[in-house]
Amino acid sequence: MKRTVAITILSAAVLSSCVSKKKYTELETQLNNTRSNLQQTQVEKEEIEKKYARIEDRVAEYNAKINSLRDENDEKLEMTAVAPVNNNSKEQMRKTISKMDPSELAGAETLEDSVNLAISYNLKQSISEGTDDENIDINVDETVVMINVSDKLLFSDGSYRVNNKAHNLLKKLAEVINSEPSLEVMVEGHTDNRTMVKESYLKDNWDLSVRRATSIIRILQDKYSVDPAKLIASGRSSYAPLVKNDSPENMAKNRRTRIVLIPDLEKFFGMLDSQM
């Protein structure tokens, strides 16, 4: 009996020793794997750091090249909110501004404002020669040029037939449009809020505003060879007034044609190049 118990105890001890050794071997294997993974991770980390250092060197090299270009006066760029301006454009702008009434420059707070004013001035000098300046207003907003022309210059009251006295203006406008192939041109007709006379050949102000826009577009296309693919006709009726239609004077302000020039950014500053 004692011998049997001794054998049993010995067997349990041997089995316990075997299980512990197996567990130890597993843990040792896991440790070795962890060390290997850690070493691989360290190698990868060092490779990433080397790549990052090379990228930093390239960025520093590019920045040095950019700074070098900026130091060259003829190529030096100054940014507006919409596009870069080189020294040649700035010099042209200064020449234009020197010809302007100082009161027109009072609201210019930034380079962009000055550029817009200079382009407005050049365009107005170009297209309004021989006409009454009071009938033409030009504004530039983020490269979009908006030319408002009073109906006093373009049409008789309630008519969409273009006055002969407006042809000089449209000829000059066509020259500007044709000089810049990238331009798109939208012609908008605007009216006051008076209703049409009963039994008129015009249905309403929508009809009048659209016909006025298309009349101008046809002249630009047929007489002055403006590419029709660049032209857009739009009628706004009386729904985009400049002022309230509460007096004859205000109604006259609202009766207008707006010509919107939409240039390619690269061509925008070309409008500064010629002195009129």
Burial (0-12, 13-18, 19+ Cβ within 10 Å), 177: buried
How confident is the model over 248-258, as a mean pLDDT? 94
What token pair was written down for 272? 């500064």
Digit-coded pLDDT (tens) for 14-36: 545 555 777 778 777 888 888 88
Q: What is the pLDDT of residue 34?
A: 84
SS3 for 135?
A: helix
Digit-coded pLDDT (tens) for 43-80: 888 888 888 788 888 778 777 776 665 555 444 444 44
Interatomic CA distance for residues 151 and 205, integer angstroms: 14
Digit-coded pLDDT (tens) for 90-114: 666 666 666 666 666 666 666 666 6
Pairing verdict, β 144-150 and 256-262: antiparallel
Q: Of the candidates 81, 86, 59, which has an alpha carbon nearest to the alpha carbon of residue 70?
A: 86
Interatomic CA distance for residues 5 and 11, integer angstroms: 10
Confidence label for 81 from pLDDT (cuts 50, 70 and 90): very low
Interatomic CA distance for residues 130 and 227, integer angstroms: 25
Pairing verdict, β 231-235 and 184-190: parallel
**Angle between the 87-98 and 111-127 helix axes, to the nearest 10 degrees?**
60
CA 145 and chain centroid, separation: 13
Q: What is the pLDDT of residue 190?
A: 96
Interatomic CA distance for residues 107 and 111, integer angstroms: 11
Percent of the chain with pLDDT over 90: 29
For the domain spanning 119-272, the CATH number is 3.30.1330.60
What token pair was written down for 112? 């962009």
Pairing verdict, β 77-79 and 184-190: unpaired
What token pair was written down for 246? 């509460």
